[in-house]
Amino acid sequence: MNKIQVLDKSFEVYLDATTIQTRVREMAKQISSDLKGERPLFLSILNGSFLFTADLIRNLTIDPEISFIKLASYKGMRSTGSITTAIGLEVDLAGRDVILLEDIVDTGNTLYQFLPHLQQQQPRSVRIATLLHKAEATVHPLVLDYVGFVIPNKFVVGYGLDYDGWGRQYDAIYQLSNP
Ligand code: IMP
């Protein structure tokens, strides 16, 4: 399918399934080599990362531990900044090598706010693996250790990514069509 309609918007294929799978395999190979002999904890950030996580994990040659979390942002009653906490984080991170799995880093706000909370638990190391990076849109100095594809600042859906809850099921990634 070259074109799809999601709610009121038209999208066209941007990364096809083969291109995604090839790159995810390369990322898995790189991570396996960097963490050879270790048992890292993969923290997959829901909802968008579920397909990326499933494919990445199946291509690792090391033994992973996997946990899924949701990040929730809320504004403090009095403070102006928002606080990002993890829902579902039950594993003790102390001394662990943690690899965060994200579908897409856009402004970088979510991860930038979450990382200090993660560091409080004193993991041995924290790495970030993201399938997509909208590099032009990122406003925080985040170190992204593994990036699948750097993409332009255009809205995308498919392969786990949604538009208002729709469009996650495709095996390709689609970009908003020009009007
Ligand atoms: P950030 O905090 O701005 O980096 O945004 C990260 C989150 O925004 C991602 O985990 C996605 O859920 C969502 N997001 C950002 N850009 C897109 C997009 O193009 N399509 C779908 N979701 C997106």
pLDDT digits (tens, 9 = 90+) for 106-120: 999 999 999 999 999
The rounded Å distance from CA 57 to ligand 1 centre is 22
In ligand 1, which atom is closest to the CA atom of 163?
21
Alpha-helical (H) ranges within 2-149 are: 17-34, 50-58, 109-120
Token digits of residue 24: 């995810």
Nearest CA to ligand 1 atom 12: 48
The rounded Å distance from CA 133 to ligand 1 centre is 9
The rounded Å distance from CA 64 to ligand 1 centre is 26
Can you tell me which residue has the tokens 């859906």?
A: 157
Residue type, 88: G
Q: What are the structural domains of the chain? A: 3-70+100-176 (3.40.50.2020)
pLDDT tier at 138, thresholds 50, 70, 90: very high
Mean pLDDT for the stretch of residues 24-51: 98
pLDDT > 80? residue 83: no
